A and B are shown apart, each in its own frame.
Chain A
Amino acid sequence: MPEVLLETRSLGKRFGAVIAAEDVNVSVTAGEIVGVIGANGAGKTTFCNMVTGYLTPDLGQILFRGKDITGCTVGEATEAGIHRSFQIPQLFPGLTVYENLLLAVGVFGHRRPPWWQPLVRPEVENEATAIMERYRIAESAATRVDRLPQGVRKLLDIAMAMVGQPAMILLDEPTSGISTKEKFDVMGNVIDALRKSAATVLFVEHDMEVVGRYADRVIAFREGRVLADGTPRVVLEDPAVIEHVVGRRPGHPPDA
């Protein structure tokens, strides 16, 4: 039987009067690709923030590989093997694509040298190059990140998150800001690359077609609670989901 990788138990989080999470029980099995849907403010990003240690839940527990990681730091969650990409890509804007990856590999990759030893060496450069090729951003290698189109930024953000080969990756709206035409290309590309790395994936997505195509399982959030959890066919046809999630789309402004 496959291992349960991530499990949350009755997670709760409030910001003042706003309920961002309440009684969230989610479990993700190794190898799964889970799609997360929900209207704006449903608590999807908050969920990612809590699981990766960026926010501490007010209530509940987070277990990763059976180990309680509730309240650990971002660094500890990252070391444990949960990485993430962001709704708004978090990159090093003054550096080129290649340098971004060198930096990521250099401070975190499996081939990083000891922290006091010079880092530009073949192993690091080769790993950075291989990652660029895997995510098909090699032609932008020498471009500064603040001059990149949104699609490439999104890809680089995911590539950076995959440095160090996490057991699990959370993608927060990987296709937001990308034209409908390119969405499937980008997502197909990413899912391919992630499958090759054998990472378990949880992705937040507003486009139901993308969700239907790539998710093995779908979790729908509403006002901080899990509204539905099951196969895409069942969840995407659920009347409550259609009313509260699917019906409200499309065209929403992205946030942080």
Chain B
Amino acid sequence: MTLLRSVRLTTVGITVATVVLLALWPLLPAWAAHTVAVSLGGGLVVLGLLILIRFGLVSFGQGLFFAIGGYAAALANQFLGITDMLVMSVAGIASAGAVAWALGYIVRGHRGIFFAMLNLAFSMILFGILAKTVVLGSTDGFSVGVPTLLGFAPDPEAGRLTFVLFGFIVISTAVVAWWVDRMLASPIGYAGQGVRENELRLRYLGVSARGAVHIAYIAAAKLAALGGVFTVLLIGHVTPEDTAYWTKSGEFVFVAILGGSGNVAAPFIAQAVFELVRTFALQYAPDAWQMLLGITLLLVILFLPGGLWSLADRLRGRDA
């Protein structure tokens, strides 16, 4: 059962995964390293969804915060000449945090389909603004140069994905996942279970369900934004279509269902599976991509309702 998980076990898992990924860097072909890094970026957005799912909520508009993160990085680069990946990350997280704080006052009173769709509405509004505003790059967006870290500028010949960027993404993701795991095991995470299971009892335990939802919403937004920053740094480009468009938000929900909400590792594993399948599908059967997605979703819902992570639970003989 989710409540009684050990935080320590996950901490060990995260540490091991981090060390292994960093050690593998010299051996990884460029496409594989790129897939890993992109999966960590996308996985962060899905990790935010996982928090919301633990609260019994789904957002069909995480593209909103993904875009805010990506654009914060790109605009900082474009207009302020900032190239530092750490500064860009902080800018993305802070912008998304501020927007989520404000929008949170609207969404925190809603549940179920209304919560999901309000977020979709916000993301569509942002998409419209980005696509129509020339200073924001309109539909073409912006390019972003190779990022630096704390004054250290990687060799431009080495390509976009250097060890510095890779290491930065791996380590930041690990720290964030560790922090989310602790959060889920803390009173705020338990309050989330309460929101999902019985809000009335939660209120009678002196907890503001709305306040708890607001905190979770801001946390999910910050994660989505950090994922957006990483993705833009990896791709080198940001457009409204690739970030704020509703299909992107739908994709994150897809991956969240694929992975399940059993563990903070699930979003990253699912995102990696998703990236790999997409890469191969686009290469060998470009017309069948949508169908393949549909079939996968169908199979997961029918046979693995707890997502890919429930396979791990089954192997360990626990009921999911």
Contacts and interface: CB of A to CB of B under 8 A. Distances in A.
Q: Do A and B come from one complex?
A: yes
Interface of A: 52, 73-75, 78-79, 83-84, 90-96, 99, 102-104, 106-108, 112-120, 160-161, 163-164
A102 B188 CA distance: 13
A120 B181 CA distance: 13
A93 B199 CA distance: 12
Interface residues of B, number: 27
B190 A106 contact: yes
Given A90-B198, A94-B197, A108 B3 contact: no
B203 interface: yes
Contacts of B1: 95-96, 99
Nearest to B185: A118
Contacts of A108: 205-207
A161 B201 CA distance: 9
Interface of B: 1, 3-4, 6-7, 182-183, 185-191, 193-194, 197-198, 200-208
Given A91-B201, A107-B190, A164 B206 contact: yes
B204 A107 contact: no
A58 to B, nearest CB: 22
B205 A163 contact: yes
Nearest to B189: A119
A141 B202 CA distance: 20
B3 A84 contact: no
Nearest to A117: B186
Give the secondary structure class of A's interface. loop
Contacts of B207: 75, 107-108
Contact of B185 (A52, A84, A120): A120
B4 A78 contact: no
Contacts of B193: 92, 95, 103
B3 A99 contact: yes
A247 B183 CA distance: 55
Contacts of B190: 102-103, 106-107, 119
A74 B203 contact: yes
B194 A74 contact: no
Contacts of B203: 73-75, 78
Contacts of A96: 1
Contacts of B4: 99, 102, 120
Contacts of B198: 90-93
B218 to A, nearest CB: 13
Q: Which 3 A-B pairs have the closest CB atoms?
A: A92-B197, A78-B206, A90-B201
Given A104-B205, A107-B205, 16 more contacts: A74-B203, A78-B206, A90-B201, A91-B198, A92-B194, A93-B198, A95-B197, A107-B190, A113-B186, A116-B182, A116-B188, A118-B7, A119-B190, A120-B7, A120-B185, A160-B205
